[in-house]
Amino acid sequence: MSILLERTKGRAVIIPYLFRILPAVEQELAIWRKRAQDIPDPELKRQALASIDKKKFHCQGGSIYALYPGAKTSQMISFIVALQTISDYLDNLCDRVAGANEEAFRRLHQALSAAVDPAAPVTDWYEGYPYQLDGGYLTQLVQSCRKNVAAFPGYFDVRQELIHLVSLYSDLQVYKHQDKGLRTELLTRWFSRHAELAPQVFWWEFSAAAGSTLGIFALAAMASIRAINRLEIDRLQACYFPWLCGLHILLDYFIDLDEDLRHGELNFVSIYADEEVMTAGLTRFLRESLQGVEMLPHAAFHRTVVQGLLALYLSDPKAFCAERNKISRQLLREVGLEARLLHKVCLGLRSAGIV
């Protein structure tokens, strides 16, 4: 009976997510879109608007954590949208604008660190970057994150973990945006310095895990409710890093595989030796994630997150092109009927232009 109840709770997340959370996310994005339109520098304005309009599904997906049982929903939505908007904006600045170096990229990402650490200084994020006049846009995003996260009752319990995850994320972004001839060497060296965090995975799988913000959102959701003890934090971390976070970004790269290869972009899924090894790698991350969530409080919620990742990413038409159709179907079979039903929901949302 308890297992059945947990699964019912998991399904019950979907209705409020569709009809309460997604509209609230749109409202938050509309606020930041309006502020981005006031950015004085045309290039920064263009990248800020593009990061909102073309990557809003990152905020939509992450906002599921606003429904973590007991979480402060409105504050979580505000925090998630602001932090994810920073992440997507900085990714555009590093990926789509020429003329900046590693030091400038690292300086930009200090904004992300400051967003989860109110004690960090607010500084000139654009020092060394070719475009600088954003009218305070990035600092406003940082301040929004800080205001919300600092008010969470358990913030100081998870503060170091938040800072650590942001540090890994920032390192990844800095290294992967270097010259094509350097980035693999930089990333493998970086992994060797942190291999003890995930000794069971390859360097590109570790990099994928570092590129996800879901661990940050999960910790913040827990902290928004009450004080968090060490055991709870460790169990969450063991599930999310590298497994659930890695699954998230590996799926992202999986659907973008052809596009990245055409444009010479680094794609972590392409590093697997062949289709069979790729399938085994993705399946392993999925199975470890599903096993790990069963050890967590509110397992049904985290299970829904895993199912939702599969449903969201594999509802992209690119997931069922000739080269990926077989793998996508196998992954959906792994997670069972509930994920396949969510997959149909996501197909409908894409058809309606909502995601």
Secondary structure tally for the chain: helices H, strands E: 18, 0
Nearest partner of 284 among 312, 242, 324, 318, judged by Cα: 242
Can you give the pLDDT at residue 8? 41
In the numeric block, which tokens belong to residue 346?
């996501």
Query: Domain range for residue 244?
Result: 2-351
Can you give the pLDDT at residue 340? 83
pTM of the entire predicted model: 0.94
Q: Please state, rounded to an integer, the average pLDDT across all residues of the chain.
A: 93
* Residue 300, domain CATH: 1.10.600
Can you give the pLDDT at residue 345? 86
Nearest partner of 137 among 65, 52, 57, 48, judged by Cα: 48
> Mind giving me the DSSP string for 18-29?
IIIIHHHHHHHH
Q: What is the pLDDT of residues 56-107, one digit of tens each?
A: 999 999 999 999 999 999 999 999 999 999 999 999 999 888 888 999 999 9
Residue 331 vs residues 251, 268, 286, 298: alpha-carbon distances, Å? 10, 18, 8, 24
Residue 317 vs residues 288, 328, 343, 351: alpha-carbon distances, Å? 26, 11, 12, 11
Can you give the pLDDT at residue 9? 52
pLDDT over 70 (residue 32): yes
- Read off the pLDDT band of 352 (50, 70, 90): confident
Structural domain count of the chain:
1
Q: What is the mean pLDDT of residues 192-217?
A: 97
Q: What is the mean pLDDT of residues 171-192?
A: 94
CB count within 10 Å of CB 207 equals 28
Residues 6+ apart with CB under 8 A from 197: 206, 241, 242
